[in-house]
Structure 1
């Protein structure tokens, strides 16, 4: 019995080592969303360039759409922006969500850096962001033709992210 007590610290160490080993194999950038395969949350918000134009979740139906959460205060959004312009020029439908931002600054941003968005929704108080489970900007969602969220990417969309992760999903949804 006393010899068995000598092995207790070794067993505890083995269990802890197994947990740490499992933790090292996880992707720290993975941000699962509870909204995957669920309809876009209900909202009714104005757009950055025309506050009289009110957009709802129903306006996101009909085409496969990228929904991009962005802000002028977001450094990563500035890095991502030229690539979004490139995607829009290739015919990718992108709708923006201007998240907790100043509308005047957002208008200047889109004028000076080019506007990749079909329209950009003003989410001044962040309620839509909360409903989407936004951690911070930039975040990009893929919506199918029925307005159902099929994928979420946290961070900058660049050529690698687009070609390896998002484009295959968009292509599959566009076919079916």
Structure 2
């Protein structure tokens, strides 16, 4: 009779255990959210950004005045940005002020993107070198920040905004920031 060798069974068991842990972690709702040290702080300055073509330029004053607003970091080369764009258009149609910051992109490509998909932004800036994004704590694009009326970051969502995300997180956070 052959002797049992645990080394034959051990690797598949370890793999199955790790796969189970990963699946459990991905299913948790809070797994979608990355921590941000910016929550509650004034939105970082965007003085280093440049205007994007003839579109209305974004300024620090816009971030610090008015009502609740969103700041959305996006790029033309970003497939998830393209996927979330209809939700940004919906929010803009509902009266939400959205400022766009084009990240590490060429102006011509960014303008073509907005011309093709529509422009939901009240004002737009370009952060081609990505320096301003570092101050905001950007992990990658797309990333959306909810700012209160005084320009403090109330919420941050990393990743594309889907219809479900918009209804479950973004709209409630906008409402909360308006209080």
Superposition TM-score tier, normalisation by shorter sequence: 0.7 to 0.9
Cα pair 1:70 1:77 within 8 Å, conserved: yes
Which of these residues, 130, 137, 161, is aligned with residue 134 of structure 2?
A: 130
Q: How does 1:1-176 map to 2 (within 5 A)?
A: 27-44=30-47, 45-50=49-54, 55-61=58-64, 62-174=66-178, 176=179
The SS at the match of 2:156 is: strand
CA drift at 1:33: 0.4
- The separation in 1 between residues aligned to 2:31 and 2:67, in whole angstroms, is 32
1:13 maps to none
Please, what TM-score do these two structures have when normalized by structure 1? Answer: 0.80
CA root-mean-square deviation: 2.2
1:58 deviation in Å? Answer: 2.3
Residues matched between the structures, number: 155
Deviates more, 1:60-69 or 1:139-148: 60-69
| Whole-Å separation in 2 of the counterparts to 1:113 and 1:162 | 19
**Separation in 2, partners of 1:63, 1:50:** 25
Q: Secondary structure at the match of 2:73?
A: strand
Q: Mean Cα displacement is larger for which, 42-51 or 134-143?
A: 42-51
Instruction: Find the aligned partners of 2:138 and 2:176 in 1 and give their Cα distance.
Output: 25
Once the two structures are TM-superposed, the CA of residue 171 in structure 1 deviates from its matched residue by: 1.2
8 Å CA contact 1:68–1:141 kept in 2: the answer is yes
SS in 1 for 2:153: strand
Report the TM-score, using the length of structure 2 for normalisation. Answer: 0.79
Partner in structure 2 of residue 9 of structure 1? none
Q: Is the 8 A contact 1:38 1:148 kept in 2?
A: yes
Assess if the C-alpha contact under 8 Å between 2:87 and 2:166 holds in 1: no
